[in-house]
Amino acid sequence: MLALLLLHDLTTLGTAPHVLDIYSHVRQPLSTEVVWRLCLIGGYTSLRGLIGLDVSSSRLLGIMKQIQSLME
């Protein structure tokens, strides 16, 4: 996306800072969402909090469904 913005016909040295600001404004919320979801998935895949507990197959299936939902 950044390459397309910078290579656009209307992007010049004068408009480049504005283009970068726009890119940052769009990218940051998306990046934050991706990082948040990956942190949750990391917790699920490490089974953090389940050590020492009797983990049933239905509980693991529930975790798998949560991970799948986050990946969508």
pLDDT in tens for each of the 72 residues of the chain? Answer: 899 999 999 999 999 999 999 999 999 999 999 999 888 888 777 766 665 555 667 777 777 788 888 888
Domain ranges of the chain: 33-72
Residue 16, pLDDT score: 94
Residue 48, pLDDT score: 62
Computed over its alpha carbons, how large is the radius of gyration of the chain? 20
Q: Closest Cα to residue 19, out of 1, 42, 34, 36?
A: 1
Residue 54, pLDDT score: 59
Residue 49, pLDDT score: 61
57: exposed, middle or buried (Cβ count in 10 Å: 0-12, 13-18, 19+): exposed
